[in-house]
A and B are shown apart, each in its own frame.
Chain A
């Protein structure tokens, strides 16, 4: 149950795009299409942004998109806005009814 690997930080100017990677193994990210992404602002609870690799919950802007290739999933935020500045975490089903989260990425809007 090792954490999924994410870059510690990412940044972009308003209007630009930023992509965050989430690397696991064939036992989690690569083995299932159950990757989710969460946004967490300081002092707040996480919020689901993407589920099942590419799906967006109702209310999440279409600027947020997800993808996966092999053991690595990615979250892309297009048209960056100031309110997108937050911590982002990926998670994946890891078999045997277990979940695993990523190490987290702090996104800064320059």
Chain B
């Protein structure tokens, strides 16, 4: 059973918006801090954003601050990433990942691909 399944990726024009979802199963989602991490195919991992277990605290990488919003619905066991004002450099495979605390990401999804291009 895959603990995290991302969806919502696709092709979007520069300046456009996209909302990613991450459905969790097999673990107590509401107890986990959740992160978004992205990876340009063939390149390295880059941390994007983090939200605490009850959604009251969020943080973002400087490169997405003010454009991306992370949120969660613990009743639906789902994590979200609202991406606005998208740029070509946001093109990447977006992973959601979870941790009970600290910085050890124990659960990962398989990723959803976002392509920003005209």
Contact = CB atoms under 8 A, between A and B. Distances in A.
Nearest to A104: B44
Contacts of A102: 44
A107 B35 CA distance: 26
B118 interface: no
A3 interface: yes
The B interface is mostly helix, strand or loop, or mixed, namely: loop
Task: Please tell me the size bucket of the interface on B.
Answer: 20 to 34
Contacts of B105: 36, 38, 46, 48, 91
Task: Please tell me the size bucket of the interface on A.
Answer: 20 to 34
A100 interface: yes
B59 A52 contact: no
B62 interface: yes
Interface string A30-72: 0000111010100001111001100001000000000000000
Contacts of A46: 37, 45, 95, 97, 105, 108
B47 A101 contact: yes
A101 B103 contact: no
A71 B78 CA distance: 36
Contact of A45 (B35, B62, B95): B95
Interface of A: 1, 3, 34-36, 38, 40, 45-48, 51-52, 57, 89, 91-93, 96-104
